[in-house]
Amino acid sequence: MFIRQKKSSGHTYLQIAENRRENGKVRQRVLLTLGREDELQSSGHLDALLASGSRFSEKMLLLSAFKDGRLEASAKRHTGPGLVFGRLWAQTGCEAVVQQALEGRQFGFGVERAIFTTVLHRLCDPGSDRACERWMQDYAIPGADGLALQHFYRAMAWLGGPLPDEEQDGATPFSPRCTKDLIEEALFTRRRTLFSSLNLCFFDTTSVYFEGEGGESLGQYGHSKDHRPDLKQMVVGAVLDAEGRPVCCEMWPGNTTDVKSLLPIVKRLRTRFGITRVCIVSDRGMISDETVRKLEAMDPPVRYILGARMRAVKEVGEEVLSRAGRFQVLHGGREHSKDPSPLKVKEVWVDERRYVVCLNDEQARKDAHDREAILASLQDQLKRGAKSLVGNKGYRKYLKAERDSFAIDPKKVNEEERYDGKWVLLTNTDLPAAEVALQYKQLWMVETLFRSVKSLLQTRPIYHKCDETIRGHVFCSFLALVLRKALQEKIEAKGWTLEWAGVIHDLNEVEEAELEQDGKRFLLRLDNHGCAGKVFQAAGVAMPPALQQAAP
């Protein structure tokens, strides 16, 4: 039974009705008309009626007591993240793949649950494994009761532990094959049969620093992208497929250069995932003449789209950018904020090398405006004789020496104008120039991934002392990205645009309170706010009941 509204003669009446099935159809039958809604509310009769009826409902009495402050919750826990990401953990195959890798192993605790808890921690409140142990006490995570810090350490060591010698075929010179490799390969196999192969992939690297020694071999001094040359670091590489789904991550000692890492990655992709034809899309830090020659010498040759260093490579600066030719317009000027950014492309051949010059007019105007601001500031500084400006890279590239002073060099200014809004790609593919440019722009997905790893997921700094636990620690961030991408795809499929930080915040707001009365335990779902309802709907998860009796 339920109360419904009935409009008649300009008034709204409240009726008690019930649903009943007649001749295979559900029909409503009015049991009682209570009266006009406005009169019932103004007289207080409606409130009195509901309060009187609540005396016969244990749950209503409980809710009333909690609302009035006569009953306090014995505990509160966040339930949203565990429910949503728990569903995705199963749907993506992570749960099944980890359980399969654990077959025949006896750890004495739930390794899969420890890994999932660590992944959930990365998504919700990034921090160390020690912080994860404290954090999980406030979250409802099925099967995680009883997990302690030692269990997280052991689970990380298992993920990053080397495989037996007979399973080391295809290992890179920098890192052995580990348990986490088996999980990546199994996840890709499951997805490949349903969605795609790996004919196109994106690859990029970043550095991750250590507060301690950085393991037995991973922690080394090298070029720090975190601007912490005083600390040891490791290099983390990630591969994404054409749809932006994480495929695998690789880890090397911190003194390994990007150029040296690209070739082993390509070989590993073919060995691990059964790929024969692969196109690598990577940024300008990966390219060198030797790297290009070796990629083309592979059997079959590897296709590539590589960003070229416009200022550092003489051929690009002097020949490619100076060639005349008409640009093809892919995207014109933006009329709305959601329109794609402007993009023009032009193909240039130098001997047998194919380049694609890309131009963004919007960025070109911004580059010119920024340069004018710098030159205006520089001019003011020079009037005061500030020789120290030479130490500023932004200023120094426009200066020339004149006896005991410095002046702005017009030739350098004109030279810099040639690069406004442009980037240059080197490729051996037969794709149209427009497609080459659009595929390279997708590399920004990898850059977004690394921003997630280093800010949202807070992989660094790392405090572990052993190589295997370090590898497991970073791999859990990779698994978190797998779940994040899966949820984003489901949200986009609904046509919604939700900010990721807002998604996590609102999921954390979905809580349950544990109430006790007359020897019984109840779980009360507290009000949720924001986009949590949409996220639950996108993930295909039902909201918990408003009030339910807890299992004994």
> pLDDT (tens digit, 9 = 90+) per residue, 153-188?
999 999 999 999 998 887 888 888 999 999 999 998
Give the pLDDT score at 240.
80
Q: Is 229 in a helix, a strand, or coil?
A: coil
106: pLDDT strictly greater than 50: yes
Contacts of 289 (CB under 8 A, 6+ apart): none
531: pLDDT strictly greater than 70: yes
Kindly state the average pLDDT of the residues 60-67: 57
**Unique residue bearing structure tokens 């010059």:** 357
Give the pLDDT score at 454.
52
Rounded to whole angstroms, the Cα distance separating 234 from 479 reads 19
Give the pLDDT score at 282.
76
What is the residue-wise DSSP string for 138-206?
A: GB--TT-TT--HHHHHHHHHHHHPBPPGGG-TT--SS---BHHHHHHHHHHHHHHTTT---SEEEEEEE
Q: Is 393 domain-assigned? A: yes
Better-scored residue on pLDDT, 20 or 226? 20
Give the pLDDT score at 155.
95
According to the 3-state scheme, what is the secondary structure of 91-113? HCCHHHHHHHHCCCCCCCCCHHH
> Cβ(466)–Cβ(153) under 8 Å?
no
Q: Is 210 domain-assigned? A: no
The overall average pLDDT reported for the chain is: 81
Domains in the chain: how many in total?
2
| pLDDT digit string, tens, across residues 14-51 | 888 888 888 878 888 888 888 888 888 888 877 776 66
- Sign, CA torsion 30/33/37/41: negative
Kindly state the average pLDDT of the residues 442-460: 57
- For residue 164, give both structure tokens: 């037996």
Strands 328-331, 343-350: pairing is antiparallel
Q: Is 150 domain-assigned? A: no
- Sign, CA torsion 101/104/107/112: positive
Tell how many helices (H) and how many strands (E) occur in the chain.
20, 18
Rounded to whole angstroms, the Cα distance separating 506 from 532 reads 5
Q: Is 259 domain-assigned? A: no
Nearest Cα to Cα of residue 460 among 452, 490, 468, 488: 452
- Sign, CA torsion 467/468/469/470: positive
| pLDDT digit string, tens, across residues 478-489 | 899 899 999 999
Better-scored residue on pLDDT, 531 or 515? 531
Kindly state the average pLDDT of the residues 423-450: 81
Name residue 533's amino acid. Answer: G
Length of the chain in terms of residues written: 552
Strands laid side by side in the 11-22 sheet: 2-8, 11-22, 25-36
φ, ψ of residue 487 to 5 degrees: the values are -70, -40
Which of the listed residues 9, 29, 56 is the one where a domain comes to its end? Answer: 56
The 8 Å CB, 24+ separation contacts for 395-403 are 398/374
| pLDDT digit string, tens, across residues 257-307 | 766 777 787 778 777 887 666 777 777 666 677 778 888 888 778 888 888
Q: What is the model's pTM?
A: 0.74
φ, ψ of residue 2 to 5 degrees: the values are -160, 165
Q: Is 5 domain-assigned? A: yes
Which of the listed residues 15, 32, 56 is the one where a domain comes to its end? Answer: 56
Contacts of 346 (CB under 8 A, 6+ apart): 325, 326, 327, 328, 356, 357, 359, 433
Omega within 30 of 0 (cis) for the link into 300: yes
**Top-ranked range on mean pLDDT: pick from 176-180, 273-277, 444-448, 464-468:** 176-180
Strands 353-359, 233-241: pairing is unpaired
Give the pLDDT score at 288.
72
Strands 328-331, 303-307: pairing is unpaired
Q: Is 445 domain-assigned? A: no
The 8 Å CB, 24+ separation contacts for 101-109 are 101/179, 101/182, 101/183, 101/186, 105/158, 107/154, 107/158, 109/146, 109/147, 109/151, 109/154
Residue-number span of the structural domain to which 6 is assigned? 1-56
**Unique residue bearing structure tokens 């550095």:** 207
Rounded to whole angstroms, the Cα distance separating 452 from 126 reads 11
Better-scored residue on pLDDT, 56 or 23? 23
Rounded to whole angstroms, the Cα distance separating 379 from 373 reads 10
With bands split at pLDDT 50, 70 and 90, how would you rate the model's confidence at 457? very low
What is the residue-wise DSSP string for 18-36?
A: EEEEETTEEEEEEEEEEEE
58: pLDDT strictly greater than 70: no
Strands laid side by side in the 353-359 sheet: 246-253, 233-241, 200-209, 279-282, 303-307, 422-427, 353-359, 343-350, 328-331
Give the pLDDT score at 99.
95
With bands split at pLDDT 50, 70 and 90, how would you rate the model's confidence at 462? low
| pLDDT digit string, tens, across residues 348-407 | 999 988 999 999 999 999 999 988 888 888 887 777 666 666 556 667 777 777 777 777
Give the pLDDT score at 366.
93
With bands split at pLDDT 50, 70 and 90, how would you rate the model's confidence at 456? very low
**Other Cβ atoms closer than 10 A to 31:** 10
**DSSP-H helix ranges across 442-529:** 444-451, 467-493, 500-508
Q: Is 381 domain-assigned? A: yes
Strands 279-282, 303-307: pairing is parallel
Q: Is 403 domain-assigned? A: yes
The 8 Å CB, 24+ separation contacts for 171-179 are 172/250, 172/252, 172/261, 172/264, 172/265, 172/268, 173/264, 174/252, 174/253, 174/256, 174/261, 174/264, 175/250, 175/251, 175/252, 175/471, 178/468, 178/471, 179/101
> Cβ(194)–Cβ(230) under 8 Å?
no
- Sign, CA torsion 193/115/161/475: positive
